[in-house]
């Protein structure tokens, strides 16, 4: 019988808010961030990938997902995520975000 460790107060708060509004992209992204902080990198990656499948225009998630994928040594997938984020950022005329994503992509190629 395994014992599940108690959830952090922040994680519990996010889960409670998600029960009220399960489609909230910001809360779903926050859940992934807290999950990663809790040391569950693969689960965090899965949460953000699921979020982006359902809401591909959630631009804020691309950079972090790319970073996590690099940490997990999924370099080709990270490259794809950065590239998709650059395209979306340019479409949304978010030049700063496009530049940050392009820089992350360029660093991978060095």
Could you give the number of structural domains in the chain?
1
Q: Can you give the pTM of this predicted structure? A: 0.89
Q: Is residue 4, in this structure, part of any structural domain at all?
A: no
Domain that holds residue 82: 9-109
> What are 51-102's pLDDT values in tens digits?
999 999 999 999 999 999 999 999 999 999 999 999 999 999 999 999 999 9
Distance CA 31, CA 15 (A): 7
The pLDDT assigned to 72 comes to 97
What's the pLDDT tens digit per position in 19-56? 999 999 999 999 999 999 989 999 999 999 999 999 99
Question: 74 in the Ramachandran plot: left (φ > 0), alpha (ψ -120 to 50) or beta?
Answer: beta
Is residue 71 domain-resident?
A: yes
Choose among 44, 34, 47, 42: nearest CA to 8: 34
> CATH number, domain at 37?
1.25.40.10
Helices (H), the chain: 9-20, 25-37, 41-54, 60-71, 75-91, 95-109
Question: Predicted confidence band at 109 (pLDDT cuts at 50, 70, 90)?
Answer: confident
Q: Quick check: is 31 in a domain?
A: yes
């Amino acid at each position: 019988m395994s014992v599940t460790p108690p959830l952090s107060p922040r994680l519990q708060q996010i889960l409670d808010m998600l029960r009220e509004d399960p489609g909230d992209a910001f809360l779903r992204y926050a859940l992934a961030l807290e999950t990663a902080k809790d040391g569950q990198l693969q689960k965090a990656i899965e949460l953000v990938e699921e979020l982006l499948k359902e809401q591909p225009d959630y631009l804020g998630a691309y950079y972090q997902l790319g970073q996590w994928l690099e940490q997990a040594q999924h370099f080709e997938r990270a490259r794809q995520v950065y590239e998709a984020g650059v395209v979306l950022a340019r479409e949304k005329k978010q030049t700063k975000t496009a530049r940050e994503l392009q820089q992350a992509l360029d660093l991978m190629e060095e």
